[in-house]
Structure 1
Amino acid sequence: MKLHALRWAVSIATLAVATSVSADQLADVKAKGTLVCGVMTNLDPFAFTDSNTQQQMGYDIDFCKAVANQLGVKPELKVISFDARIPELSQGRVDLLAAVLGYTEARAKQIDYSDAYFVSIQKMGVRADSGYKVLGDLAEKRVGAVKASSTLGMLQQTLPTAKVISYDDAPAAFMALVQGKVEGFGQSETLLRRWISKATDQKVNVIMPPMGQEAWGLGLRKNEPAFRVAVNDALAKMEASGESAQIFERWLGKDSIFKMDREFKTRPITQ
């Protein structure tokens, strides 16, 4: 009898642990009333600290806040490093990533993605006095990219003979280009043009053709189907209401330094 009771107690304890481990993330987020978003910084216009208010601002920040609003909870921003994005998500320290997260097959093995909320065109920047006119001119040259970025894979496909130098972050890679340590710097055109707008000592040109394009999604933990559906439903509602287009226009549209047109809509990411 005692043995039966002991087995019953162990079974109940095991079930409780299993239930805790497999708890529904959507229910957890709503229960605590906050959505913790892992975000970047120093990546204007996607995420940066406003010098006057010391608050985080940008395209990704607005999407975090808008999704939280759709879910009926408050947003909580957690600034993380580029390399820490997936570990922070996988280990449960953030609920989702709104962190310039381009889709790659390698990343998709580790995390899930929401539908695409941005489409990034990857291009190459070169010094204006370099004489380089098209992407092929950089064959066998030294070119820079950010470590662990999707640009690295595109460079290997479009410029297989180039010597790729990896940098910890975009400012370091762009500075290497300006200083002549590399002949080109590949990145999202949006971010690339942002660095160019800040450069005062050296003019930098963006050359064609593009290296490729990538869809950006919000990073989600695997095996959380209810949460993924809720996030995608939030994005769909934002698209239908025009809120997503308004966020784009605010940060990247005709009144910004980028003067870009929104040539995409929120959609599932397919490869």
Structure 2
Amino acid sequence: MKRRLLTFAAAAALVALTATGCGSSKPATPGASGEAAGLTLQQVKDAGVLTIGTEGTYKPFSFHEGGTGPLTGYDVEVATAVADKLGVKPEFKETQWDAIFAGLDAGRFDMIANQVTMTPEREAKYLFSTPYTISTGVIVTKASNTDITSFADLKGKTTAQSLTSNWNQLAKDSGAKVEAVEGWAQAITLLKQGRVDATINDKLTYLDSQKTKNDPDIKIAAETTETSKSALTFSKGSDDLVKAVDQALADLTADGTLKTISEKYFGEDVSK
């Protein structure tokens, strides 16, 4: 999803702003760069709290039902289950996406749970847990469409895409003509009206939509071979804590918890 592929530039500019907010319950020791050094598992256990940065406005991953209900979502439930395995309480700190990495840098929270995609650029600056979400890009067409079964079939066709998303570029690279839209809902409207032939998006977006609406008029026509992996994100130096979180995720996979949470929000297991 496009927000997961944004750079750190905006976040870096907001370090000063986030640093003035509520601090972590654990001491953050600045490293040589001025950013918070990592935390150990023992520090988290001593505090009895795992502080977690998340948006709170990113449905179905982190949101308030009806806008005013308790914080919930796929990422929220996964992070809560991880904290339970560590024997500590989860404490969520809602933060805008543009400031979420700056908040981690400033020690405002211990980890991020917000569908952060693992990229080489991010892995050079942060530590990641084992992935808890695996997804692909998908071509969505009308259920009756038999002309499109691969990305090669998009050549000469028209797709509906947000111009700021990475899927827009994939559509162009596939030879499609692009009709600009503001998001998923508008793309599906144009598709069902027959004004475009397809739309490319993250499979999670499709699954979330189908879990809610179960629209029989659309289908996945093809998937990318490359996958997108999202993981819990930590400051460098938190190796001990990340190791414990990885074990917690392994236990949650083994006992079926991650599968259950996945199926609740997406109708299938997206954790592997």
Superposition TM-score tier, normalisation by shorter sequence: 0.5 to 0.7
Q: Is the 8 A contact 2:154 2:174 kept in 1?
A: no
Q: CA deviation at 1:40?
A: 3.6
Question: Aligned residue for 1:108?
Answer: 123
Residue 123 of structure 1 deviates from its aligned partner by: 0.9
Matches of 2:207 and 2:242, distance apart in 1: 32
Map 1:90-109 to 2 at 5 A.
90-109=105-124
CA gap of 1:115–1:133, structure 2 versus 1, over 3 A, is same
1-side partners of 2:115 and 2:249: how far apart? 16
Match of 1:174 among 163, 167, 184: 184
User: Which runs of 5 or more structure 1 residues have no equivalent in the other structure?
Assistant: 1-18, 253-257, 266-271
Cα shift at 1:49: 1.6
User: TM-score normalised to the size of structure 1?
Assistant: 0.67
Listed as ranges, the gaps of 5+ residues in structure 2 are 1-27, 32-36
- What are the residue-to-residue correspondences of 1:73-152 with 2, within 5 Å? 73-126=88-141, 133-134=148-149, 135-139=151-155, 141=158, 143-145=160-162, 147=164
The one-character-per-residue Cα deviations of 1:41-87 (angstroms, maximum 9, x if unpaired) are: 45444333223970121221111111112222211122333444433
Q: Distance in 2 between matches of 1:86 and 1:182?
A: 37
Cα distance between partner residues in 2 of 1:85 and 1:226: 22
Q: How is 1:180-219 mapped onto 2 (pairs within 5 angstroms)?
A: 180=190, 184-196=198-210, 203-210=217-224, 212-219=226-233
SS of 1:194's equivalent? helix
Contact 1:142 1:183 in 2 (8 A): yes
Could you say what secondary structure the match of 2:245 adopts? helix
Report 1:1-271 matches (<5 A). 20-22=29-31, 24-26=38-40, 27-51=42-66, 54-126=69-141, 133-134=148-149, 135-139=151-155, 141=158, 143-145=160-162, 147=164, 155=170, 159=173, 161-162=175-176, 172-178=182-188, 180=190, 184-196=198-210, 203-210=217-224, 212-252=226-266, 258=267, 260=268, 262=269, 265=272
Letter in 2 for 1:136: A
| SS of residue paired to 2:130 | strand
Distance 1:77 1:165 in 2: 39
TM-aligned CA distance change 1:245 to 1:199, over 3 Å = closer
TM-score by length of 2: 0.67
Cα gap change, 1:122/1:200 in structure 2, threshold over 3 Å: closer, same or farther?
A: closer
Tell me the percent identity: 24
Cα deviation, residue 35, structure 1 = 1.5
Which whole-Å CA distance do the structure 2 matches of 1:228 and 1:138 have between them?
42
Q: 1:80 to 1:164 in 2, by over 3 A?
A: farther
Indicate conservation of the 8 Å contact 1:128/1:204, yes or no.
yes
SS at match of 1:226: helix
Q: Whole-Å Cα distance in 2 between the matches of residues 113 and 229 of structure 1? A: 10
- Report how far residue 176 of structure 1 moved: 3.7
Q: Is the radius of gyration larger for structure 1 or structure 2?
A: 1
| Aligned alpha-carbon RMSD (Å) | 3.8
Q: CA deviation at 1:219?
A: 1.4
